[in-house]
Amino acid sequence: SRNVSYVISGAQNLVKRGIDDIIIKDVISYPLLSRLLFDIKRIYLYLSLIAFFIIVIGGLWYFYYISPLDMKTEVAYSWLLFSSALIINLIYLYYIPVLTGLGEIESSYKANVLGRIIWFFLSLLVFIFSPSILLLSLSFVFSVFTNRYLCYFFYIRNSHVKAINKTEMEKKSTVPFIGHNAAKLGVVSLGSFLINRSTTLIVGIV
């Protein structure tokens, strides 16, 4: 979000540390912004591919191993649904820092809060009327898609995003300047997300 904020504030280049070497002008470099957003998306996609093997495959083995014999099939399907939604969530997790950097802080919070509310109420209904880890996983999938659709809606309506759609992207990659921080943010966000969201599924198994 910091680098996005710099660019829409007039930065014509990015640096690894500090701001002293950043060239500031009165105009926004939309080619640079376009390249920055492209590279952010690419970093999150690569992180998601790595997470797929750790979370989906590793998690499937773990939950299949610890689950009761009569629940193994249900647990396997439930985890595949749940973990797939986690990966989808990670792929599009860049929306949060990007929206913040674009000045859409309120919009990113709205999408996040609504997704959590939907997840909470659907999970509550499942616990009350039909306790099932498969239904809990489906509830989570629905909340993730709702959250990401709202983020996408707020993203495409932003004036800066509309402007870059009419601009040719800068050829020079911004990954050397943003790679470390973006990867670190992605890993931290995923860890926090796993801790907060997987608890319900684990409780369902127990």
Q: Are 60 and 38 in contact (CB under 8 A)?
A: no
User: pLDDT of 50-84, one tens digit each?
Assistant: 888 888 888 888 888 888 888 888 888 988 998 89
Q: Which residue, chain included where needed, has tokens 């911004």?
A: 174
User: pLDDT of 89-132, one tens digit each?
Assistant: 888 988 988 999 999 999 989 998 999 999 999 999 999 998 88
- CA Rg value for the chain: 20
Give backbone dihedrals phi and psi of 29, rounded to 5 degrees, phi first: -85, 90
Q: Are 54 and 62 in contact (CB under 8 A)?
A: no
Q: Are 41 and 53 in contact (CB under 8 A)?
A: no
Nearest to 79 by CA among 61, 99, 106, 101: 61
Query: What's the predicted TM-score (pTM) here?
Result: 0.82
The domain limits of the chain are 30-205
User: What does the pLDDT read at residue 145?
Assistant: 93
Please tell me the distance from the alpha carbon of residue 188 to that of residue 179, in angstroms, as a whole number: 14
CB proximity list for 180: less than 8 A, separation 6 or greater: 16
